[in-house]
Structure 1
Amino acid sequence: MSEPRLAEQDLAALVSDWLTWDEAAELLGVTPAKARTMVRDHQLAAAVPALVPATGVKQGIPSLFIVDGEPVKGLPGLLTVLHDNGFDDRECIAWIFLDADLPGRPIDALRENRGAEVKRRAQALLL
C-alpha cells in the first residue's frame, strides 16, 4: 500500500498542539486579523486539522510555528518555496511535520536553526 499524498495526511495525528486565531495572535502580539494576514502572506500556515472536520472544528496554526513571539526562523521562506511548488497550506503543514529524509522532521530542524537543509530539500521538489 502506498503512502498517503500530503493533502490526504491526517494533520491531527501529525501535529499535537494547535492554536486558535486568538491564541496565535496573542503569542505574536498582534490582532487576530493580523495573524490571518500573516497566513495569507505565507509567514505562517493554517489548516483544519482533521481530514473530515467535525462540526465546529476550525482552522488552526501549529503551535510549533511560533517561538518567542515570532514565526520560527526560516518558516516564511520555506512556506514561500512550498507554495511556489503548488502546495496549499494543508500540504505545507504535512510536509513540515513529516520526516523528509532529514534527521528528524523539518519543523524540528527549523526550530534548531538548521533550516538551510530543509529549504534545500523543499527547493529540490521543484526539480
Structure 2
Amino acid sequence: MSAIPVADDVLEPDVTVLSLDEVSAALRVSANKVRQMLREGQLIAVRRDGDLVVPAAFLTKEGVVKGLGGTITVLADAGFGRTEMLRWLFERDESLPGASPIQALRTSHGSEVKRRAQAMAF
C-alpha cells in the first residue's frame, strides 16, 4: 500500500481539523476509505501534534465539498505540491466569494475557483 501524501501544516492554528476517525464518521465510510481518498487526492491531510488530520472546511453535511477533488487535481496538474495546494486553498482572496478558495468552493463557486487554479498553470 502506498504512503499517504501529507502536506506541511501551513494552516493557521485556529483552523479546525478533524482526525481521520472523525472524517470517517462524518463521511460514513471506513478509515481505510479515508486513507484511499487522501492517496487519490480527494482530500489533503497534515500532521498536527503527531496525528494525521484533515481541515474540517473540506467537509459538509453532505460529504466532501463539491469540487474539492477536481480543484486538487487541477492544482496537481499545475505542478503544485500538497503543501502549496493547502496554502492556496486557505489563502485570503477578497475577490472571491467567501474570501478564500475553500470558502468559495463551500458556497458553490467551484467554477471560478477551478478557473483561477487553471490560470495559475500558465
Q: TM-score range by the shorter chain?
A: 0.7 to 0.9
What's the C-alpha RMSD, in Å, of the aligned pairs?
A: 2.0
Pick one of 34, 42, 58 that aligns with 2:51: 58
Q: TM-score, normalised by structure 2?
A: 0.83
Structure 2: which 5+ runs fail to align? 1-6
SS, match of residue 111 in structure 2: helix
Q: TM-score, normalised by structure 1?
A: 0.80
The separation in 1 between residues aligned to 2:13 and 2:112, in whole angstroms, is 21
In the alignment, what sits opposite 1:32?
Answer: 31
1:114 aligns with 2:113: no
Structure 1: which 5+ runs fail to align? 1-6, 50-55
In the alignment, what sits opposite 1:4?
Answer: none
Q: How does 1:1-127 map to 2 (within 5 A)?
A: 10-11=10-11, 13=12, 16-49=15-48, 56-100=49-93, 102-103=95-96, 104-127=99-122
Counterpart code for 1:10: V
Q: If each structure's strand is expressed as a fraction of its own residues, which one has the higher value? A: 2
Identity across aligned pairs (percent)?
A: 39
Given that 2:8 and 2:46 are in contact with CA atoms closer than 8 Å, whether structure 1 keeps it comes out as no
